[in-house]
Amino acid sequence: MTTLVPERPRPGTPRPYRFPTVVRRSVAGGEVVAADLPGHPLAVATLLLDAGAGRESLGTEGVAEVLAKAIEEGTTARSAAEYAVALESLGTDLAVSVDWDSFSATVQVPVASLPAAVELVAEAVRRPRLDPGDVARVRDDEAESLRQHWANPGPRADAVLRADLFGAGARHGRPLSGDPLSVAGLAPEDVSGFHAAWCGTAGTLLVAGDLSRVDLDALAAVAFAGGTTPAFERGGPLPAERRTTRRIVLVDRPGSVQSTLRLGHTAPHRAHPDYVPMTLGAIVLGGAFTSRLNHLLREVRGYTYGIRAEYGLSRRFGRFVVSAGVQTAVTAAALVDAVGEIARTQETGVTEPELAVARDWRAGQLSVGLQTPRAYASALSTLVVHDLPDDYHARLRESLLAATVEEVSAATAAHLTAEGITLVVEGDAAAIRADLEATGLGEVVDAAV
């Protein structure tokens, strides 16, 4: 028999992993953090401000996200159409994003166009028009988008879990982007007020590109112009308080043919010394297709198309979350199996074969992920937001590959808990309540939504 490929191709020698030297300098009241990419034709610049969702006041959840979408609706110097044409003339767009810790505006252009692009970033962020009519339209669009999103399984369960872990009286106990009601209730003055209160600092300019062709001081002077407010107090990490008892929170979705599971507990902040070993333990448990949870609930039981476990970590707080959708009839059984795997991993740790897969997969992600100026700029943002050392990314791959079974098992035992986990189930309460109560996993209570 003739075959076209007589022998399976062998993998090539991995390319060396190298993170560029980080350049820092203070200019015009702000800080420039840059990575040199010699010879690269494109460059990325990001203006990073300490104006994330964590700065929002209760009752205005989602205001930073609305601001992010509204700043391209024209500036004090140009209409929305004129601003769009200016961006297009440089072959770029403005990517604005909000997370718990920061508000960022990013452009990617040929290196020669970087000064003009940074001027446009500064114009949008420092001097947005924020016409009340435009802001109201953006707000309404965002509220409608959230209403459609919240009609799907999952967002309510996520919100219920977050409120249970952190308390609805804390900003991080509510959804990152707000909910349909909080966003719909925003006034244009809330958006302009948030901008005035939190976007007046110089901030940080992140640059990734061929620095031999870039005048960082000149870029910073443009980016920081108009940033006159002193930097804000950032605050330290919040305590990751652990509970000692489980409970099941039931979110009723009448007639649902499946149940959405969100299992979680509080976790340390992103810069915690155990970040590497505890996240490797999460990969073994539920972070990859070969994980324990996915193998048991998908491959062995056939309860779900997939289940995932991961840490979501910000600058001041974090949480561990398991997410899955399962058939209604097996909701209770799936919950029992998931808690059992979490308990087993907490108590017995990981094995060397499992850890080897997790190490190689996570380390490989670094080599694959850090290929573009945008990826390097994002990595620089991690350094700034979480106060990590400049050589952090240069050492990260080595740290991942050097992690031992003992280290990962110890971190898993320290930061994972099956006893104090909250089990949120969004599904048909009439069909699943009795089975959930029969599991003995914990008290079954109705969600207050």
Q: What is the pLDDT of residues 424-438, one digit of tens each?
A: 999 999 999 999 999
* Mean pLDDT of all residues in 208-221: 96
The tokens for 274 are: 């155990």
Cα 54 from Cα 46, distance rounded (Å): 20
Q: What is the pLDDT of residues 67-111, one digit of tens each?
A: 999 999 999 999 999 999 999 999 999 999 999 999 999 999 999
pLDDT (mean) for 301-318: 97
Cα gap 321→262, rounded to integer Å: 7
Q: Residue 1: is its pLDDT beyond 60?
A: no
pLDDT at 4 over 70: no
pLDDT > 80? residue 14: no
**Contacts for 391-399: CB closer than 8 Å, 24+ residues apart:** 391/22, 393/19, 393/366, 394/18, 394/19, 396/19, 396/276, 396/366, 397/17, 397/363, 397/366, 397/367, 399/276
Question: What's the confidence (pLDDT) of residue 368?
Answer: 86
For residue 263, give the H/E element and its range: strand 258-267
- All domains in the chain, ordered by first residue: 22-224 (3.30.830.10), 247-446 (3.30.830.10)
Q: Taking all residues of the chain, what is their mean pLDDT, rounded to a whole number? A: 95
249-287 confidence digits (pLDDT tens) = 999 999 999 999 999 999 999 999 999 999 999 999 999
Model confidence at 6: pLDDT above 90: no
Q: What is the mean pLDDT of residues 169-185?
A: 97
**How far separated are the first and last CA of the chain, in Å rounded?**
65
219-228, 230-239, 250-259, range with greatest mean pLDDT: 250-259
The answer, yes or no, to whether residue 416 has pLDDT greater than 70, is yes
Q: 448 pLDDT exceeds 90?
A: no
Which has the closest alpha carbon to 271: 242, 243, 238, 241?
238
Residue 224 contacts residue 48 (beta carbons within 8 Å):
no
- Is residue 60's pLDDT more than 90? yes
- Examine the pLDDT at 310 and tell me if it is beyond 80: yes
pLDDT recorded at residue 421: 97
Strand order across the 22-27 sheet:
22-27, 30-36, 204-209, 42-49, 103-110, 95-98
- CA–CA distance, 3 with 208 (Å, rounded to integer): 47
Query: Is it the case that residue 15 has pLDDT exceeding 80?
Result: no
pLDDT at 3 over 70: no
Per-residue pLDDT, 7: 77
Q: How far apart are CA 304 and CA 321, in angstroms?
A: 17
Beta strands in 54-152 (DSSP E): 95-98, 103-110
Query: What percentage of the chain exceeds 90 in pLDDT?
Result: 89
Q: Would the pLDDT of 10 be above 80?
A: no
**What's the pLDDT band for 449 if we cut at 50, 70, 90?**
low
Q: What is the pLDDT of residues 126-167, one digit of tens each?
A: 999 999 999 999 999 999 999 999 999 999 999 999 999 999
